[in-house]
Amino acid sequence: MGELIRGISYKKEDASKSPSQGCKPILRANNIKGHLNFDELVYVPAKIIREEQYIKKGDLIFAMSSGSKHLVGKSAPALNDYDGSYGAFCALLRPSQYIDQSYFAYFFQGNTFRKLVSEIAKGTNINNLKREHILNIDFLLSPLPEQHQIVVKIEELFSELDNGIENLKKARGQLKTYRQAVLKYAFEGKLTKEWREKNKTAIWQELKLGDLIKVKSGNGLTKGHQVNTGNHLVYGGNGIMGKHNKYMFEEPKLIIGRVGVHCGNVHITKPTSWVTDNAFVTNFDNDQVEMKYLLYFISDLNLKKYSSSTAQPVISGGKIYPIDVKIPEKEEQQAIVSEIESRLSVCDKIEQTIEDSIKKAEALRQSILKKAFAGKLTKDWREKNPELVTGENSAEKLLEKIKSEKALAVGRGKPRSKKAKKK
């Protein structure tokens, strides 16, 4: 049902990340993300690109090989002609003129093809998809008018689905804003205003963070630490990292991520845990503050803004010790923690519902595609329009045209092969 053309092979010294005269851009596997992404292109001499390797509207670009297994088999349609090509780890599948281009593209988004890819995309150091894996796949061929109608139904249902997902994502963003507001109000004393009036207390001390805590780096994991004492949780700047057979602390500790993308993250460890040197371990020098109160207070600070401005952000104790802190008496700290957790608990439940709904929406997308290519979305349409799916418009006649097109291509030295089943 289509012609598959492999991508451009080129020497490393011939490629450039910047455009130049006599060169054309090429796409690679990382440019295929459900759509064609034109960032981080590579430019190669135009003379090494064959005419048929230039991308045309309706072509499907496949990732055929990649060190990332999730990329193998991914495809995206070209929405317009493109004055460029694609690399050797990709391939182009150009559909027959008798196949609706969108119908063709939607077929390869379905789970049937993705499951096939997961079974066959295997390699020692790299995952590979061969040309026959695509060309020999069974393709359910509908009459051309029905193909158009299937595309209309898919896009109608996908549009409704996308709107629903967008609303869910907006709600998720609103939850994030609400969480931030909860912490802000908590440390302004607004959540416990009635509590203070009832308990007739309003004593808030003005201190520095360094008056309450001291920090030291956790220990790095080396072979010397691997003693046979059982498996315990390992924490780093991003929270729980895994397991290791050594522990550093038997009691819970407050830790602060100090390096990289997790710089400023704050967590309370579980008992018998190891903490890596990617995080600070917090020691309390006095009994003025509750650990959970400080957890939420530091979460509200966005400590990353206190880090060094290098490519690899790093927080030092000297940067965070001078931070101003207002703390109430411990009883009110406990009341604040309770108010925070009651609200965030509701947020957690709503957020989980949103995440579950997004997953269901993605599953529904696959269900729509499955029904589409089983003819279920257009059953009523076929019954109302029998003249558009029979006679000269039938799948049998369409298949004859495609075979004639294929024979003509073979005669010209361009083999075109793909198995098809009539609907």
From residue 290, give the alpha-carbon distance in Å to each of 73, 183, 254, 268, 324.
52, 16, 11, 12, 17
Alpha carbons 293 and 277: distance in angstroms, whole number: 24
Alpha carbons 44 and 65: distance in angstroms, whole number: 20
Question: pLDDT averaged over the chain?
Answer: 86
The CATH classification number of 204-328 equals 3.90.220.20
pLDDT confidence bin for 385, thresholds 50/70/90: very high
Q: Is the pLDDT of residue 417 over 70?
A: no
pLDDT confidence bin for 415, thresholds 50/70/90: very low
Min mean pLDDT across 206-220, 303-317, 404-418 is at: 404-418
Calculate mean pLDDT across residues 51-56.
Answer: 94
Residues forming beta bridges with residue 26, ordered by sequence position? 42, 85
Cα angle, residue 223 at apex, residues 219 and 228 outer, rounded to 5°? 95
* Range 2-143+402-422: architecture per CATH: Alpha-Beta Complex (3.90)
Return the pLDDT at 68: 75
Return the pLDDT at 126: 63
Calculate mean pLDDT across residues 181-195.
Answer: 94
Return the pLDDT at 181: 96
Return the pLDDT at 312: 82
Calculate mean pLDDT across residues 11-37.
Answer: 91
- The two tokens of residue 53 are 């390797």
- How many other CB atoms sit within 10 Å of the CB of residue 312? 10
* pTM of this structure: 0.74
Do 204-328 and 2-143+402-422 fall under one CATH topology?
Answer: yes
Q: For the chain, give every domain's residue range.
A: 2-143+402-422, 204-328
Of 144, 152, 151, the residue nearest 391 (C-alpha): 144
Share of the chain above pLDDT 70, in %: 89
Question: 3-state DSSP call for residue 22?
Answer: coil
pLDDT confidence bin for 323, thresholds 50/70/90: very high
Q: Is the pLDDT of residue 158 over 90?
A: yes
pLDDT confidence bin for 151, thresholds 50/70/90: very high
Return the pLDDT at 351: 95
pLDDT digits (tens, 9 = 90+) for 77-124: 999 999 999 999 999 999 999 899 999 999 999 888 888 877 776 655
Of 367, 357, 359, 353, the residue nearest 158 (C-alpha): 367
Return the pLDDT at 246: 53
Residues 6 or more apart in contact with residue 93 via CB below 8 angstroms: 2, 3, 4, 5, 59, 60, 62, 75, 108, 134
pLDDT digits (tens, 9 = 90+) for 88-97: 999 999 999 9
Return the pLDDT at 226: 43
